[in-house]
């Protein structure tokens, strides 16, 4: 799930060669061309507009993530016995959205390469519309679960192409800003769902959700396809038209349009990429995982994803209303969920700034410590509320809000970012995809286990303390094994895994190595 920021489905896409698909950028792949680019809003608005449109499917993604909390809450209070879910069915309503992600994403990659980025988004609307209609008209729980499954497929197909599209059409210096749109959209969708679920029933909300599937598909008809993909498919005339749209306000270069110069540059880059793909060897890539630089990052992700998911991050997202009700707070669970959605929205913006200024280890340490303290206090006050020894019934909600803040600072986005950083170049794409499958499996397991854990620990108090302990475990695990990647070259990260597994003693080893090199006699 990309940063995932607030999203588990919008992870950064990496191609089969292990390079992010933003190698061929519209406005900044060479410094010479980029230096002539008009960097005003007037010069950039075609890119900005296209990015906003292409990423808009992420609003529906946020809606689908939050809808399970609204749906389960209202079904529990309903009078129709056919629509009264069992504990197992509740788990499937929430988690079925995730179990389809690996397969749906693999199919999405094939679709993107075959029919284009925008056409894939348009096709994504079909399972989404069918899924929401099935839920709106459902007269039993299995129909709802199948509808959620189709929505999961739609989310995977509709969000990933938007991310790839932005990386391919955005200029280098605004690419990061435009990419940060996606977690904001997801948080906006979640906040909107909690609010609408507060004022209307789940069937009406399902009908309204179709709007956020149809509109993004229609918006894709208003913008051109990625020039990078068009050139890759040898659709040169269409690529030139697309570049004229994106470069319409750019200056001429030596009596030639900016679009023509950009076309020639992209053409050369794509020809080079074809040669590189022709020389690739899949068997050789698999053998790379037998080396320390291949299996060590993979084992690291197994651990970090375990702590990430069982610290409660996604459980509080998918089951927010149920989680708050179990805490015994006097605050309306829907109001509290709206506040949580709003906090996620604000923090998705703040997180972008923090990740660009502070190193990964410090953010993870701060995040896990804060999460642990907040969950411990929330569990403590939940116990006091149940024992009727306190009147501060608002404290658990305040603690959960702070818990969300701390999670978005580090433990939520950073492990997913590391997927694109820790693997060596030769297997970065394949390693990313395998890591993504591990991520999805742990997320599915965590969502499936919520009600089981709630029963096993005998209520919300001990479950929150369990999340607190797991957060502390994430702190210890990160302190021992998490390598620092902030402002570190990818080649140096690969070198780190050639000789080390634990970060403890890494700085001292570097110091000794430096002293050893300084003491050498140069002849």
Of 9, 11, 7, the residue nearest 417 (C-alpha): 11
| Tokens standing for residue 91 | 């788990």
Length of the chain: 523
pLDDT computed for residue 311 by the predictor: 96
Residue 256, beta-bridge partner list: 253
pTM: 0.78
Please give the pLDDT value at position 274: 64
- Better pLDDT: 506 or 139: 139
Among 1.20.1250.20, 1.10.357.10, 1.10.3720.10, 1.20.1260.10, name the CATH number for the domain at 283-517.
1.20.1250.20
Interval 404-416 mean pLDDT: 91
Residue 251 CA, distance from chain mean position: 36
Q: Report d(CA 458, CA 146) in Å as an integer.
A: 31
pLDDT of residue 21: 41
CA 22 to chain CA centroid, Å, is 17
Of all helices (H) and strands (E), which one includes residue 292? helix 292-309
pLDDT of residue 368: 97
User: Using 50, 70 and 90 to split pLDDT, how confident is the model at 238?
Assistant: confident
Lowest mean pLDDT among 7-16, 27-36, 254-263: 7-16
Return the higher-pLDDT residue of 197 and 506.
Answer: 197
Report the C-alpha gap between 234 and 228 in whole angstroms.
10
> How high is the pLDDT of residue 38?
55
d(CA 421, CA 493): 8
Of residues 490 and 280, more confidence is placed in 490
As a whole number, mean pLDDT of residues 166-178 equals: 77
- 489, two tokens: 């070259």
Angle (CA) 79-82-87 rounded to 5° is 90
Q: What is the per-residue pLDDT across 476-487, written as a single tens digit (0 to 9) for each? A: 999 999 988 887
Is the confidence at residue 31, as pLDDT, over 50?
Answer: no
What integer best gives the mean pLDDT of the chain?
Answer: 82
Higher pLDDT, 236 or 70: 70
Q: What DSSP string runs through 383-436?
A: HHHHTT--S-TTHHHHHHHHHHHHHHHTTTTHHHHHTTTSS-GGGHHHHHHHHH
Q: According to the model, what pLDDT value does residue 23 have?
A: 39
Residue in 445, 477, 483 with CA at minimum distance from that of residue 297: 483
Rounded CA-CA distance 345/402 in Å is 14
- Tokens in use for 300? 């690291």
314 pLDDT higher than 50: yes
First vs last Cα of the chain: how many Å apart?
A: 54
- Specify the pLDDT at position 106: 82
Average confidence (pLDDT) over 251-264: 64
- Smallest Cα–Cα separation from 14: which of 424, 493, 432? 432
Of 80, 10, 30, nearest to 258 (Cα)?
30
Distance CA 393, CA 384 (A): 9
Cβ 415 vs Cβ 314: under 8 Å: no
The predicted structure's pLDDT at residue 518: 45
Q: Render pLDDT for 440-483 as a digit per residue (tens, 0 to 9).
A: 899 999 999 999 999 999 999 999 999 999 999 999 999 999 98
The answer on pLDDT for 158 being more than 80 is yes
CB count in 10 Å sphere of residue 326? 18
- Measure the CA–CA gap between 454 and 459, rounded to whole angstroms: 5
What pLDDT does 47 receive? Answer: 87
Q: What pLDDT shows up at residue 281?
A: 61
Most confident option among 84-98, 269-283, 340-354: 84-98
- Could you tell me which residue, 23 or 451, shows the higher pLDDT? 451
Pick from 160, 157, 165, 126: nearest CA to 48: 165
pLDDT-derived band at 25, boundaries 50, 70, 90: very low
β-bridge partners, 314: none
Task: Tell me what pLDDT residue 260 has.
Answer: 63
Rounded to 5°, angle at Cα 135 from 132 and 137: 110
Q: Per DSSP, what are the bridge partners of residue 399?
A: none
Tens-digit pLDDT profile for residues 103-146: 888 888 888 888 988 999 999 999 999 999 999 999 999 999 99
- Residue 523 banded pLDDT, cuts 50, 70, 90: very low
pLDDT at res. 39: 59
Greatest CA separation found in the chain?
A: 88
Q: At what angle do helices 141-169 and 172-179 cross, to 10 degrees?
A: 160
Cβ burial of 290 (10 Å; 0-12, 13-18, 19+) is exposed
Determine how many CB atoms are found less than 10 A away from the CB of residue 492: 11
Characterize 77-89 residue by residue with b for buried, 16 or more Cβ atoms within 10 angstroms of its Cβ, and e for exposed: eeeeeebebeeeb
Please write the tens of the pLDDT for every residue from 193-208. Answer: 999 999 999 999 999 9
What is the DSSP-derived secondary structure letter of residue 253? B
Helix (H) or strand (E) holding 364: helix 360-386
C-alpha torsion sign, points 157, 159, 161, 164 = negative
- pLDDT tens profile 333-360: 989 999 998 998 898 888 878 887 889 8
Reply yes or no on whether the pLDDT at 28 is more than 70. no
Q: Quick check: 268 pLDDT over 80?
A: no
Question: Of the spans 221-235, 269-283, 425-439, 459-473, which averages the highest pLDDT?
Answer: 459-473
Distance CA 459, CA 453 (A): 9
Banded model confidence at residue 24, pLDDT cuts 50, 70, 90: very low
Query: What confidence tens digit (pLDDT) does each residue in 360-384 have?
Result: 899 999 999 999 999 999 999 999 9
pLDDT at 63 over 80: yes
| Residue with tokens 């410090």, as numbered in its chain | 362
Burial (Cβ within 10 Å: 0-12, 13-18, ≥19) of residue 271: exposed
Q: Which residues on neighbouring strands pair with residue 20, listed in sequence order?
A: 14
Share of the chain above pLDDT 70, in %: 81
Of 401, 380, 402, 387, the C-alpha closest to 331 is 401
pLDDT value of position 427: 76
Determine the 3-state secondary structure of 444 from DSSP. helix
Q: Which pLDDT does position 514 carry in this prediction?
A: 45
């Amino acid at each position: 799930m990309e940063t995932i920021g607030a999203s588990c489905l919008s992870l950064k896409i990496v191609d089969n060669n292990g390079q992010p698909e933003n190698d061929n950028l519209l406005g900044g792949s060479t410094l010479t061309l980029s230096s002539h680019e008009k960097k005003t809003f007037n010069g950039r608005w075609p890119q900005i507009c296209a990015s906003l449109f292409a990423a808009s499917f992420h609003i529906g993604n946020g809606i689908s993530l939050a809808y399970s909390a609204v749906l389960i809450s209202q079904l529990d209070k309903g009078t129709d016995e056919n629509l009264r879910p069992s504990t197992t069915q509740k788990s499937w309503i929430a988690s079925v959205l995730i179990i389809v992600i690996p397969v749906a994403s693999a199919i999405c990659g094939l679709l993107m390469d075959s029919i284009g980025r925008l056409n894939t988004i348009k096709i994504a609307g079909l399972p989404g519309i069918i899924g929401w209609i099935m839920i709106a008209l459902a007269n039993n729980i299995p129909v709802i679960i199948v509808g959620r499954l189709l929505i999961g497929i739609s989310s995977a197909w509709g969000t990933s192409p938007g991310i790839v599209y932005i990386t391919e059409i955005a200029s280098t210096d605004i690419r990061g800003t435009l990419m940060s749109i996606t977690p904001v959209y997801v948080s906006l969708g979640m906040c909107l769902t909690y609010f609408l679920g507060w004022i209307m029933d789940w069937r009406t909300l399902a009908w309204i959700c179709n709007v956020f599937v149809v509109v993004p598909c229609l918006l894709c008809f208003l913008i051109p396809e990625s020039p990078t993909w068009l050139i890759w498919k040898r659709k040169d005339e269409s690529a030139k038209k697309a570049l004229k749209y994106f470069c319409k306000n750019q200056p001429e270069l030596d009596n030639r349009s900016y679009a023509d110069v950009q076309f020639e540059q992209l053409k050369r880059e794509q020809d080079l990429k074809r040669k590189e793909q022709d020389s690739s060897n899949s068997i050789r890539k698999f053998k790379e995982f037998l080396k320390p630089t291949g299996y060590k990052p993979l084992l690291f992700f197994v651990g970090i994803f375990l702590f990430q998911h069982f610290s409660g991050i996604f459980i509080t997202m998918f089951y927010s209303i149920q989680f708050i009700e179990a805490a015994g707070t006097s605050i309306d669970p829907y109001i509290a969920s709206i506040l949580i959605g709003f906090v996620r929205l604000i923090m998705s913006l703040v997180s972008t700034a923090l990740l660009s200024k502070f190193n990964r280890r410090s953010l993870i340490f701060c995040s896990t410590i804060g999460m642990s303290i907040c969950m411990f206090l929330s569990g403590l006050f939940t116990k006091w509320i149940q024992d009727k020894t306190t009147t501060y019934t608002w404290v658990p909600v305040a603690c959960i809000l702070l818990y969300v803040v701390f999670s978005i600072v580090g433990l939520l986005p950073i492990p997913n970012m590391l997927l694109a950083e820790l693997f060596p170049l030769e297997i970065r794409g394949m390693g990313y995809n395998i890591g993504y499958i591990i991520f999805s499996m742990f997320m599915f397991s965590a969502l499936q286990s919520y009600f089981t854990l709630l029963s096993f620990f005998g209520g919300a108090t001990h479950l929150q303390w369990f999340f607190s302990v797991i957060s502390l475990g994430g702190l210890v695990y990160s302190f021992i094994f998490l390598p620092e990647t902030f402002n570190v070259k990818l080649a140096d990260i690969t070198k780190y895994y050639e000789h080390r597994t634990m970060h403890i003693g890494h700085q001292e080893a570097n110091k000794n190595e430096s002293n050893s090199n300084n003491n050498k006699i140069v002849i």
